[in-house]
Amino acid sequence: MTRTKAASRSGTRAEASSTARMWAGALADGVFKVVLGAVFVLAASGTGDLLGVPAWLPAATGAALLIGGGIEIAYVRRRPLPAFLRLMITYDGGWALATLAGLLVAWRGGTAGGEVWLGYQVVAPLAFAALLASAGPSRPAAGTDS
């Protein structure tokens, strides 16, 4: 085998490995949302007390995370990876901003920090799931039957 062919095969394997890791990360993101959602539902009262919000808000947050994470898991490998990654990055960036906003409200003596943080987590996973469901399906790679 020539050096060029060996390098080409090695590059293809590295790209496939990188893509597989990205898909694994997308799956892990959905699993994390489902687990977090279950925790919020099961510990709604305690979480509500901790964040200074009524218990129904963590319960609603948990339900939204369970639904959003479940849909995310269902669409892994059924939607194009670039679309999946863009949505994940947007979601996580919004989560970071909502967390900062909630902390800022709390640090300044406000009482709505928990509502801001949980409110984002009620709306965002459902929006993420809706956008993911509306994205076009993945296309098989050229030269494959799947």
Rounded Cα distance, 7 and 19, in Å? 18
Query: How far apart are alpha carbons 112 and 105 in whole angstroms?
Result: 7
pLDDT at 146: 44
Domain ranges of the chain: 3-134
Residue 111 DSSP code: S
Measured CA to CA, the distance from residue 50 to residue 84 in angstroms comes to: 33
pTM above 0.75, yes or no: yes
What integer pLDDT is reported at residue 114 of this predicted model?
Answer: 94
Task: Name residue, tokens 């003596």.
Answer: 109
pLDDT confidence of residue 92? 93
120, amino acid identity:
Y
Contact indicator for 34, 52 with CB cutoff of 8 Å: no
Look up residue 9 and give its amino acid: R
According to the model, what pLDDT value does residue 17 have?
79
pLDDT per 10-residue tile (average), the chain, 146 residues: 54 72 88 96 95 95 96 87 89 96 94 94 95 76 48
Residues 124, 67 contacting (CB under 8 angstroms): no
User: Structure tokens of 56?
Assistant: 């129904």
Number of other CB atoms surrounding residue 26 within 10 Å: 21
CA–chain centroid gap for 6, Å, is 37
